[in-house]
Amino acid sequence: MSLELVTILDKDGKAQRGKDPNLPPEELQRLYKLMCATRALDERGLALQRQGRIGFYLQSTGQEASHLGSAYALQDSDWLFPAYRQPGILLLRQIPYEKIIAEWFGNSGDTSKGRQMPVHYSFRQANFVSISSPIGTQLSQAAGAGMAAKARGEDTVFMTFCGDGGTSSNDFHCGLNFAAVYKAPVVFVCENNGWAISVPNDKQTASESMAIKADAYGMPGVRVDGNDILAVYRVTKEAVERARRGDGPTLIETVTYRIASHSSSDDADRYRDKKEFEAWQKKDPIARFQRYLKHKKLWSEDFENECVEGTKDEIAAAVKVAEAMPPVGPETMFEDVYMNPTQQLKDQKKHLHDLVQKGGVGAEVGHFPL
């Protein structure tokens, strides 16, 4: 048994007859601009890390179609339990650049108050649940939230992401199992980018694909070309509709590639074949979608300029704003541990306050290495 790879756009950007979801022109252009903006944001993030202005960065380059195409199939009221390589969703859900970038700086402009490393976003206004580093934990959480919404008769759909490495986690198993048993309205998106840091797919699983694992859990599994935004959108839309009408979860494997290293602390050249990388570079999802827009006569030099250069200018302006935000105050360390601080936390807060007042305190802290 093997699963077909669902594709709509050929490498020249032509849509297969009868499969084009026929999105309105302005929506197609919006998606393209979001892809370009996601890439520009990513490039800026890495550059800031290389300049020593932020401590860490983790790129999503090459995976724009995979995460934007899937999240685009949701309604704004639907919830996301993301992993750490889907920043485009924040742009899709209209989070301003300053807010995203302030999270990198971890200063007072950061909605999560500088509590986490860069790219571990949380945006309640976008129903985008706080990201954590442990792999896969969000999968069973999405199942639980879906179980709750279903029990309450609500029609919210929950989308959750993991990578290929995430399919080996405890929570992949129990998350898919719980969601299937309770027919929870969940869409599991596994972005198979080929690599879990330095470990390739064939060391991650002996299954012929990630999507095929769905069969054992009793849910549909779909394998889609993750660099084809229309194909990703189309299969996800079907999964979202299935979830919303009460027919349960779906596992979607988006077959894509991690063009960058794992993170700013990693160098993929040490373990990855250059030929493999170069072959995938030619399958760039943005270039492929651009060719489609050209066929549709929805692309021009001016439009390209707006999407790329215009976006870069907006990001540059946002970096200035975000970087200038004041640092978080020492007292904020003790907030949000509990709704109300314990006596112990109050005592410790006062202790630190007194030390800071006297001056001279503060341990030597290095830069995040790997």
Partner 1 sequence: MTATNPQTGKGQAKTKVMTMLEAINDAMKVEMRNDDRVVVFGEDVGKKGGVFGTTMGLHEQFGDNRCFDTPLSECGILGAGVGMAVYGMRPVAEIQFLDFIYPGFDQIVSEAAKMRYRSGGEYTCPMVIRSPYGGGIRGGHYHSQSSEAYFCHTPGLKVVIPSTPADAKGLLISSIRDEDPVMFLEPKAIYRHAKDEVPVGEHTVELGKARIAREGTDVTVLCYGAMVPVCEKAADLAQEEHGRSVEIVDLRTLVPLDEHTILESVKKTGRVVVVYEAPKTGGFGGELSAIIAEKAIEYMEGPIVRVAGFDTPFPYSLEHLYMPDPKRVAAGIEKTFVW
Phi-psi region of 197 (alpha: psi -120 to 50; beta: other; left: phi over 0): left
Exposure class string for 327-342: b at 16+ Cβ within 10 A, else e: ebeeeebbeeeeeeee
Q: What is the DSSP string of 138-178?
A: HHHHHHHHHHHHHHTT----EEEEEETGGGGSHHHHHHHHH
Is 233 one of the annotated active-site residues of the chain? no
Per annotation, catalytic residue among 50, 53, 245, 271:
271
Single residue of 27, 241, 276, 336 touching partner 1 by CB under 8 A: 336
Residue 198 in the binding site for partner 1 (CB under 8 A): no
Q: Which is nearer to partner 1, 37 or 74 (CB)?
A: 74
Q: What is the dihedral of CA 118, 110, 61, 206, to 10 degrees?
A: 60
How many residues are present in the chain? 370
Residue 94 in the binding site for partner 1 (CB under 8 A): no
Residue 108 in the binding site for partner 1 (CB under 8 A): no
Confirm if 28 and 294 have CB atoms less than 8 A apart: no
Residue 96 in the binding site for partner 1 (CB under 8 A): no
Residue 338 in the binding site for partner 1 (CB under 8 A): yes
Single residue of 327, 344, 354, 361 touching partner 1 by CB under 8 A: 344
Q: Which is nearer to partner 1, 120 or 234 (CB)?
A: 120
Residue 167 in the binding site for partner 1 (CB under 8 A): no
Contacts 24+ apart (CB under 8 A), 317-320: 318/96, 318/97, 318/98, 318/100, 318/101, 319/44, 319/48, 319/101
- Token digits for 62? 């090459």
Give the whole-angstrom CA distance, residue 66 versus residue 69.
Answer: 6
Confirm if 51 and 42 have CB atoms less than 8 A apart: no
Residue 111 in the binding site for partner 1 (CB under 8 A): yes
Is 85 one of the annotated active-site residues of the chain? no
> Smallest distance from the beta carbon of 142 to partner 1, in angstroms?
6
> Smallest distance from the beta carbon of 119 to partner 1, in angstroms?
13
Residue 331 in the binding site for partner 1 (CB under 8 A): no
Q: What is the DSSP string of 168-235?
A: GSHHHHHHHHHHHHTT--EEEEEEE-SEETTEEHHHH-SSS-STTHHHHHTS-EEEEETT-HHHHHHH
Single residue of 60, 66, 122, 254 touching partner 1 by CB under 8 A: 122
Residue 174 in the binding site for partner 1 (CB under 8 A): yes
CA angle 20, 226, 129 (to 5 degrees): 110
Single residue of 71, 147, 219, 260 touching partner 1 by CB under 8 A: 147
Residue 181 in the binding site for partner 1 (CB under 8 A): yes
Nearest CA to 61 out of 287, 294, 302, 272 is that of 287
Residue 137 in the binding site for partner 1 (CB under 8 A): yes
Is 258 one of the annotated active-site residues of the chain? yes
Residue 107 in the binding site for partner 1 (CB under 8 A): no
Binding mask 53-92 for partner 1 (x = CB under 8 A): --------------------------x-x-----------
Find the part of the chain contacting partner 1 (CB under 8 A) among 50-58, 170-178, 295-303, 311-319: 170-178
Residue 202 main-chain phi, psi, to 5 deg: -70, -10
Single residue of 112, 198, 205, 265 touching partner 1 by CB under 8 A: 112
Q: Which is nearer to partner 1, 37 or 180 (CB)?
A: 180
Per annotation, catalytic residue among 262, 291, 292, 367:
262
Residue 168 in the binding site for partner 1 (CB under 8 A): no
Cα 322 from chain centre: 21
Single residue of 335, 349, 352, 353 touching partner 1 by CB under 8 A: 335
Give the whole-angstrom CA distance, residue 351 versus residue 348.
Answer: 5
3-state helix, strand, coil in the chain (%, to 5): 45, 10, 45
Q: Which is nearer to partner 1, 60 or 137 (CB)?
A: 137
Catalytic residues, by residue number, are 258, 262, 271
Interacting residues with partner 1 (CB under 8 A): 79, 81, 110-113, 115-116, 120, 122-124, 129-130, 132, 134, 137, 139-149, 151-152, 158, 170-171, 173-175, 177-178, 181, 335-339, 342-344
